[in-house]
Amino acid sequence: QKEVEQDPGPLSVPEGAIVSLNCTYSNSAFQYFMWYRQYSRKGPELLMYTYSSGNKEDGRFTAQVDKSSKYISLFIRDSQPSDSATYLCATIREGAQKLVFGQGTRLTINP
Amino acid sequence: ETGVTQSPTHLIKTRGQQVTLRCSSQSGHNTVSWYQQALGQGPQFIFQYYREEENGRGNFPPRFSGLQFPNYSSELNVNALELDDSALYLCASMNPSGDPYEQYFGPGTRLTVT
């Protein structure tokens, strides 16, 4: 079993839709949670960074962590074609060095 | 742009050869991590360097080795290349005075082993 599970998609939605991206993880020691966006042939770009459970909002993006169910979500409101990319969830234990990534979900926003 | 740069952009090598990849971290970032990203997969942690010392290693064989220099730039060396080493190699740097565990990635080096 992978430490972080993420549906690879692909996911295709119309412009303006609300997008929900999700991951589950297995290790309750994970404390920090991130979402990265990766455009084709580019490096991952840090979008959201949260500690422990709760919500964090940044513009059209909302990250949600539910540690009781080991569930991580990213919501994108008013989605735009420029949001088309692969979205990677990642997590890390306190004091650890390595980020543990999900497989990534490929998202396409259709104009 | 994160300020993390990597070179070269692309590289083609033959099985059994050796390769060196380079990374310049963002100014002031003294911690550099290297990741391997196979096609269609998430990045996998190779190792991390902090103040020129290895500070953690993932599940990669010893033929993957690294260096960090006094200016915090870093190299990844891979010996005896195998076909499965074909991947995007990413380096990421961390700001010691920022939020812990925020890692900023470079654009990557795409390595093809034939």
Task: Tell me the pLDDT tens digit for each residue of B41-57.
Answer: 999 999 999 889 999 99
Other CB atoms within a 10 A radius of the CB of residue A1 amount to 4
Identify which of B44, B101, B104 has the shortest CB distance to residue A92: B101
For residue B103, name the pLDDT band (cuts at 50, 70, 90): confident
Tell me which residue of A13, A18, A110, A31 sits closest to A61, measured CA to CA. A18
**Single-letter amino acid, residue A9:** G
CB contact under 8 A, A101 and B43: yes
A57 vs B49: CA distance, rounded Å: 32
Q: What is the pLDDT of residue B100?
A: 63
User: For residue range A21-61, what is the model confidence (pLDDT) as tens digits?
Assistant: 999 999 999 999 999 999 998 999 999 988 878 899 999 99
A23 vs A91: CA distance, rounded Å: 10
Q: Is the pLDDT of residue B28 over 90?
A: no
Q: What is the radius of gyration, based on Cα positions, of chain A?
A: 13
% of chain B exceeding 90 in pLDDT: 77
Instruction: Quickly tell me which residue has 């990421």 as its tokens.
Output: B92
For residue A15, name the pLDDT band (cuts at 50, 70, 90): very high
**pLDDT, mean of residues A64-85:** 96
CB contact under 8 A, B56 and A32: no
Tell me which residue of A101, A108, A61 sits closest to A85, measured CA to CA. A108
Q: Is the pLDDT of residue B98 over 70?
A: no
For residue A1, name the pLDDT band (cuts at 50, 70, 90): confident
Q: What is the pLDDT of residue A56?
A: 94
CB contact under 8 A, B35 and A49: no
Q: What is the pLDDT of residue B96?
A: 67
